[in-house]
């Protein structure tokens, strides 16, 4: 039985216990994929076995960074690009926490890119969700690190010439134990993906290829948000066994989706404990968040 079925009748929303209803409706643009992405994550949380009192959401700056302010959990809206180190500090201070970093491509991949790859390398125990809408939507639609080649934006009026990151391949190469990509159209698959990721330990990364109808779609004359959803329906190909080196996104071409990586290796704190136990033997006390306080 999911938690939502235990809620008293008369509530405004079936997930109201996970939403700050006094801040609803949200400020995201009509047709934006962030709201659907948040809804899908909350539905997965609702069906999970996680203790909501020990679950926290951390966001950075940008359109997606607003998500932390709408979720009724311990939440932190941090500085630009620093969501992952904030979450890392929380995990080291209290290893019992379940951390979800929920932010955008500009925040996580550009200014926060160094934190991202090293957190994956160290296998810090957190779920990182990147809503990728190919631009800096909050500040005017500028070119970003995931903008496809030839796509037009305010700082690339003649089309992008800057090779974008292939996020699944980047995160797989960096050491993430779970790597996936979906879209706001694929809500059932995305919720199932979140459910799987929430059960794992280690650094997990989910990319959501999303919609920015105000800047990306309009600037490239691609139509409205519904047109983009039709594009996702017709041009997304699910292949869980895809070679991530070949999952790069090209402008208006097919997009490969799936759960690309699902593997096991010691988390950062597990590796630390193993190393210290090997060095100190029976004298070592397992890390409990106090040694580095």
Digit-coded pLDDT (tens) for 238-286: 999 999 999 999 999 999 999 999 999 999 999 999 999 999 998 898 8
pLDDT confidence bin for 54, thresholds 50/70/90: very high
pLDDT of residue 5 exceeding 50, the answer is: no
Q: What is the distance between the alpha carbons of residues 73 and 147, in angstroms, rounded to a whole number?
A: 32
Q: Is the pLDDT assigned to residue 288 strictly greater than 90?
A: no
Predicted confidence (pLDDT) per residue in 177-226, tens digit: 999 999 999 999 999 999 999 999 999 999 999 999 999 999 999 999 99
> The whole model's pTM is what?
0.94
Q: How far does the chain reach from its first CA to its final CA, in angstroms? A: 39
Choosing among 3.40.50.300, 3.40.1050.10, 3.40.50.970, 3.40.190.80, the CATH entry for 18-283 is: 3.40.50.970
How far, in Å, CA of 191 to CA of 201, rounded? 18
The domain ranges of the chain are: 18-283
Average pLDDT of the chain, as a whole number? 93
CA torsion angle 193 199 204 208 (round to 10): 20
């Amino acid at each position: 039985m999911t938690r939502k079925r235990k809620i008293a009748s008369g509530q405004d929303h079936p997930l109201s216990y996970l939403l700050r209803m006094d801040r609803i409706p949200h400020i995201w643009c009509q047709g934006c994929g962030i709201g659907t992405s948040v809804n899908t994550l909350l539905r997965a949380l609702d069906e999970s076995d996680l203790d909501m009192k020990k679950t926290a959401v951390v966001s950075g700056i940008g359109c997606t960074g607003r998500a932390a302010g709408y979720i009724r959990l311990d939440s932190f809206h941090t500085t630009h690009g620093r969501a992952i180190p904030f979450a890392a500090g929380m995990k080291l201070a209290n290893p019992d926490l379940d951390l979800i970093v929920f932010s955008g491509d500009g925040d996580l991949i550009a200014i926060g890119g160094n934190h991202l790859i090293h957190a994956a390398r160290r296998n810090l125990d957190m779920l990182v969700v990147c809503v990728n809408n190919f631009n800096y939507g909050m500040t005017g639609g500028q070119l970003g690190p995931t903008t496809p080649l030839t796509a037009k934006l305010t700082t690339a009026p003649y089309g992008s010439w800057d090779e974008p990151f292939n996020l699944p391949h980047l995160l797989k190469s960096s050491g993430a134990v779970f790597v996936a990509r979906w879209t706001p159209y694929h809500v059932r698959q995305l919720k199932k993906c979140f459910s799987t990721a929430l059960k794992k330990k280690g650094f997990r990364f989910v990319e959501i290829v999303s919609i920015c109808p105000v800047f990306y779609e309009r600037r490239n004359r691609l139509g409205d948000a519904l047109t983009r959803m039709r594009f996702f329906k017709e041009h997304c190909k699910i292949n869980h066994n895809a070679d991530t080196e070949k999952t790069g996104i090209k402008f208006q071409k097919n997009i490969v989706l799936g759960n690309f990586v699902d593997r096991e290796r010691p988390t950062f704190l597990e590796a630390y404990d193993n190393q210290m136990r090997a060095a100190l033997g029976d004298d070592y006390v397992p890390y409990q968040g106090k040694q580095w306080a």
